[in-house]
Structure 1
Amino acid sequence: MSIGFQVRERLVAATPQQAEMFRDLPVSTISDSMHRMHAGCARLAMLNVDLTTKLTGVALTVRTRPGDNLLVHKALTMISPGDVLVIDAGGDTTNAVIGEIMLRAAVRAGLAGLVVDGAIRDSASLRTGTVPVFARGVTHRGPYKDGPGEINVPVQVGGLLVHPGDVVVGDADGLIAVPLDHLDEIHAVAAGRASAEEIALERAATGDRDTTWIDRRLTAQGYQAAGSLG
């Protein structure tokens, strides 16, 4: 039976250059540009001490039995520069599926970031490193190496669906996956939103913020308040 025992190559994938287009865009802005329908990972936190760390890269996905990292080891041999290793370990934090030794090997191969719906260990090193790391938890207990597991299949991490080859973006607010088929469209919308948000920030700082829309929205919803809604 192949289910649970699949090691696939990525047939299609974003390029590192396409992923890099999203580096300067906040995850919240990208999420808004996707109608807030592709959010997830609320329980996966950035572990890096430097919260300005930004994750951008191309998804190399792994689904593994909770507490087992045999297929994670295999995935390390398949990393291309600019990849983000996205591990669906079932959200279990009993056993770590990756630690400092494995991460160092992955970084040498060009890893751009790590996402684990499960636990990591050697957290002091991972927290202070330059590679962005998102995980559900930390434990000292090591993994088993028996399988089953799958590589380059669709996975879910913290409720976020990630396909192999998607662009993964992460910052202090969380993670999002941008579908390969919509990269240019979503980037264009998000870049426009980011420009508008910069203007809004400047107006908020100078007291020139437009608040007239609030009463219009309240009126449209049927609210009435003397002297304020007209």
Structure 2
Amino acid sequence: MTETNIAIAPTWERPSAETLARFAAHSTANLGDGLERLDIVDAGIAPIWPGSRIVGSALTVLTTAGDNKAVIEALDHIQPGDVVIINAGGYDGRAILGDNLAQRFDLFGATGAIVDGCVRDRDIIESLRFPVFARGLTPAGPYKNGPGRIGVPVALGGVVVSPGDIVVADSDGVIVIPPSRVEAALAGADAIVALEAEKDAEVVELRAAREAQR
């Protein structure tokens, strides 16, 4: 048996594919408003290519700054619908993943990756259309020494993410929904959508009235 310094949680519960699908229609802004604007990751973590969107179940990874050994080992634990959440300490000196890992994440069924740290190979990852969010880009590659942990609660841009949490990310940013808040998040987002539709209709009426006065 190969020795490793990567600790792995024995198991965790993931949301169903049906539950994840219910979040597909909602933006992070509406979900955030519906959840009292809490559990929103700080704005430093952003998509590395425009139009990226993620809905998935958190597969969490904690690694040391500039090292991706735990990220590589996480490949063995990806299930379809997972989003790989990596706490890399916010370090900007080395990229934690590039196009090769992005391709493997995609192949194994991950819906995206979110890194509290840096990544590289932006142009190739964009051509793959695999969603990656990070603090920035650097061409410097990572070390592969460890240690690290997989399947434990981690910090992501000021928010605690536990394995199995639902994570939604789009052009506005990232929000984390614990399982206990799923129904509240969806109901709140639905209410915001209805309210926004009313406001949009008011704007249409106001525009029509102004044009009629010309």
What TM-score do you get using the length of structure 1 for normalisation?
0.84
Q: Please name the residue that 1:85 is paired with.
A: 84
Q: Which residue of 2 aligns with 1:183?
A: 182
Answer yes or no: is the 8 Å Cα contact 2:35–2:184 preserved in 1: no
| In 1: Cα distance, 2:203 partner to 2:154 partner | 40
1:148 corresponding residue in structure 2: 147
SS of residue matched to 1:115: strand
Q: How many residues align?
A: 203
Please show how residues 6-155 of structure 1 align to structure 2 within 5 Å: 6-49=7-50, 51=51, 53-155=52-154
Give % identity.
34
What does the per-residue CA deviation read over 1:91-121, in whole Å, with 9 as the maximum and x for residues that have no partner? 0011111111111111111110110011111
Higher mean C-alpha deviation, range 114-123 or range 127-136: 127-136
The 2-side partners of 1:205 and 1:81 are apart by 42
User: Quick check: 2:168–2:176 contact (8 Å CA) kept in 1?
Assistant: yes
1:133, distance to aligned residue in structure 2 (A): 1.2
**Contact 1:48–1:129 (8 Å) recurs in 2:** no
Larger radius of gyration: 1
CA contact under 8 A between 1:13 and 1:180: conserved in structure 2?
no
* Stretches of structure 2 lacking an aligned partner (at least 5 in a row): 208-214
Higher mean alpha-carbon deviation, 199-208 vs 25-34, is at 199-208
Deviations 1:15-35 (A, max 9, x none): 232112111111111111111
Q: Which amino acid aligns with 1:65?
A: T
Gap regions ≥5 residues in structure 1: 209-230
